[in-house]
Amino acid sequence: MTPDVSAPTTLVILAAGQGTRMKSRQPKVMHRLAGRSMIRHVLDAAAALSPRLAVVVVAPGMDQVAAEVAPALTAVQEPALGTAHAVAAARAHLAGAQGGVLVLFGDTPLITAETLLRLRQALAAPERPGVVVLGFRPADPLAYGRLVLDSDGNLERIVEFGEATAEERTIGLCNAGAMAFDAELLPHLLDGIRNDNAKGEYYLTDAVALARAMGRTVAMVEGDADEVLGVNSRAELAVAEAVLQKRLRQAAMDGGATLTDPGSVQFSWDTRLGRDVVIGPNVVFGPGVVVADDVEIKAFCHLEGAQVASGAVIGPFARLRPGAEIGQDAHIGNFVEIKKASIGPGAKVNHLSYVGDAEVGAKANIGAGTITCNYDGFDKHLTRIGAGAFIGSNTALVAPVSVGDGAIIGAGSVVARDVAADALAVTRGDHVEKPGWAARFRAAKARLKAAKARE
């Protein structure tokens, strides 16, 4: 008999921790990894289960978390009296639940969909365990609770480190926290959990012994140590970021991208790369970047909210800000910043320029030092540069302004009026030259300096 993994799943995610060790004004689960909050990472992993319902347990006043997890429901735990008490806070939403209830933690953001699927599969096994516990084997077990298995490989009990015997402390299998419950059994387990312990709290781990006392087996699924990493401090947040970046780099390379120095590249959770993309050292991707096939991104570039079409070359030292759309085979060179602007196919902005709130036509050439002056102190305005136009170096385009197809702007111009197609526009002043003036100037300055020295 194969497990019934089609049974409905309900999620309960515990996120009420204030995270005092983070020393932050925002809730712990709102801190970000690869550009996304920890709680959203957990919800995204759990989405693979197609849950019928998700409930996030928060503390009073955590409106920011409630907004972040929407449309998931929230339940308020007040006061904070342990993990079982937190699950009980969601009890009103769990009425009539069938199948399984997965209890996860909002500060364990690296858990994978594959592990959650195995938890659900274990819960639906033919022996119908009442509880499934996620275990792991850390390199150093430290003070983790130990998982004691019986001769059949079922979980017998969870022993907290402080209460473990010397022999039990040698067990390398530890409690990761996440648990799955038979939905019909869970209310009875919550009713049976007591707070007769040193802290006076209701511990969800007590459900293991209760389920066995009721004649139900308790199964265990083992996960990887990295994916059950809990984040309680800024240092642990940095460790989790490193683990996630390693995953993202591997996924990028598995998908057909070349990273010449993988360890120096930083990805966002949603970065999308095509095939045969080449990424140089020290490139940073913020959220919302889509890169097509055959793109080269050279060293020290920063991209966020940008789209790059096939064959484009970016950098080195280029910055693509939100709304940047780089066309096929376009070139964006060193120390160029693009913001809310479309750069047409084959166009070139090769160095030392700012192009913002603009439309640049195909095969246009933007000379060094060009600036689209898009902001007048109150509003942003659009600059249009036609196909094949040539913008000379050190040009200021004062928006709103249009440069027609094929037009040429002389270097050093300040263009504040529209330029017709195929026209030449030059706004430099007349060349004035005074022979010998520089020598006379230097001599006068030398005499003045000598006079001051004699005083």
Measured CA distances, 132 to 91, 177, 182, 222, 337 (Å):
19, 11, 9, 10, 52
Of residues 331, 351, 381, 431, which has the active-site annotation? 351
pLDDT of residue 163: 81
Give the pLDDT confidence of 124-150 residue by residue, as tens digits: 999 899 999 999 999 988 889 999 998
CA distance 289 to 201: 45
CA distance 135 to 223: 6
- The reported pLDDT for the residue numbered 290 is 98
Residue 353 three-state SS:
coil
Q: Where are the alpha helices (DSSP H) in 163-225?
A: 186-192, 207-213
Q: Which residue has the tokens 């699924």?
A: 221
Contact yes or no for 353/366 (Cβ under 8 A): yes
What percent of the chain stands above pLDDT 90? 88
pLDDT of residue 431: 86
Rounded mean pLDDT, 154-171: 88
Question: In the beta sheet, which residues pair with residue 9?
Answer: 100
Considering just the CA atoms, what is the radius of gyration of the chain in Å? 31
pLDDT above 60: residue 2: no
All structural domains of the chain: 9-228 (3.90.550.10), 251-425 (2.160.10.10)
Q: Among all chains, which residue has been given the structure tokens 């067990």?
A: 171
Rounded mean pLDDT, 430-436 = 92
Task: Tell me the whole-structure pTM to 2 decimals.
Answer: 0.90
> Is 302 known to be catalytic?
no
pLDDT category of residue 1 using cuts at 50, 70 and 90: very low
- The pLDDT value recorded for residue 152 is 85
